[in-house]
């Protein structure tokens, strides 16, 4: 269960390797306020198919260290690129959920040689700028205490049939995140740098993703931008209604979609 610290000025990143060492690598990037455990329903499945998985706690999350600042998408993507270099992995399939889907997409734009293919789970870049700022960024940035995040989670992320244990797991974990990380990530996504969680900005940059991509959204809205962007015969877009954490709540169906798509593009071992 190693840590990676690229230099004295960088945070220490906790990551876990599983599966055959000679398997095609899949880098797993979790979302905002989450950690590498978000992929517990995918790791054994992917390992069983013959893939090596690299699940990482992104900076400020999980067991990784917590910088005082610098939670821009570009910084997260550079962390991922340096981790792959450290592991001597020239290129990998990269999967990302929500914020992780934005980071994975930016990695595919800025470090195209490192990304064989993208698996994007309920990405959060389809909302127009005005809506995203007013209804997503502002409620988070106006929070007065970390535990208040529980109300936002319950309002935003879950269909009625969601089991209570899943909600309790997510909300307790989010409430334990350092408050500045919660807010600085939000600023990085919506109000600074390229603000890639806004549709207009994502449109300008993510058309340049040159690798095959699988996009699985919990609703037609979350995949709407990818429906509009240029596609090839290797790209696939699916809606799997299961809330924001569909890869957990409907894991068997999600895993089947991933397996079939990887076979379609000849990346299944």
What's the rounded Cα separation, in Å, for the pair 168 and 235? 35
- Domain residues for the domain of 195 are 3-265
* Cα 232 to the center of its chain, rounded Å: 22
The answer to whether residues 174 and 145 touch, using CB atoms and an 8 Å cutoff, is no
pLDDT tops 80 at residue 257: yes
Report pTM: 0.97
Number of domains the chain contains: 1
Which pLDDT belongs to residue 1? 63
Give me the CATH number covering residue 176.
3.40.50.1820
Question: pLDDT tens, 7-44?
Answer: 888 999 999 999 999 999 999 999 999 999 999 999 99
Which pLDDT belongs to residue 213? 98
Instruction: Return the H-helix or E-strand segment holding 99.
Output: helix 99-110
**Phi, psi dihedrals of residue 136, rounded to the nearest 5°:** -115, -60
């Amino acid at each position: 269960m190693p840590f990676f610290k690229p230099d004295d000025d960088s945070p220490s990143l906790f990551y876990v390797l599983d599966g055959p060492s000679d398997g095609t690598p899949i880098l797993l990037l979790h979302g905002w306020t989450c950690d590498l455990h978000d992929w517990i329903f995918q790791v054994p499945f992917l390992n069983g198919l013959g893939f090596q998985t690299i699940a990482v706690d992104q900076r400020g999350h999980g067991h990784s260290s917590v910088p005082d600042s610098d939670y821009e998408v570009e910084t997260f993507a550079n962390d991922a690129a340096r981790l792959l270099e450290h592991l001597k992995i020239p290129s990998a399939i990269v999967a990302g959920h929500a914020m992780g889907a934005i980071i994975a997409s930016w990695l595919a734009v800025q470090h195209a040689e490192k990304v064989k293919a993208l698996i994007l789970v309920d990405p959060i870049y389809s909302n127009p700028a005005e809506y995203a700022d007013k209804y997503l960024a502002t409620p988070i940035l106006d929070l007065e205490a970390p535990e208040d995040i529980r109300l936002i989670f319950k309002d935003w992320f879950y269909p009625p049939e969601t089991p209570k244990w899943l909600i309790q797991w997510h909300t307790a974990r989010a409430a334990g995140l350092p408050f500045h990380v919660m807010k600085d990530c939000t600023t990085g996504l919506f109000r600074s740098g390229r603000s890639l969680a806004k549709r207009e900005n994502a449109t300008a940059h993510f058309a340049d993703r040159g690798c095959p991509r699988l996009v699985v959204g919990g609703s037609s809205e979350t995949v709407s931008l990818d429906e509009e962007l240029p596609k090839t015969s290797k790209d696939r877009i699916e809606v799997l209604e299961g809330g924001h954490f569909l890869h957990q709540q409907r894991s068997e169906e999600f895993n089947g979609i991933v397996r079939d798509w990887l076979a379609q593009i000849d990346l299944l071992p």
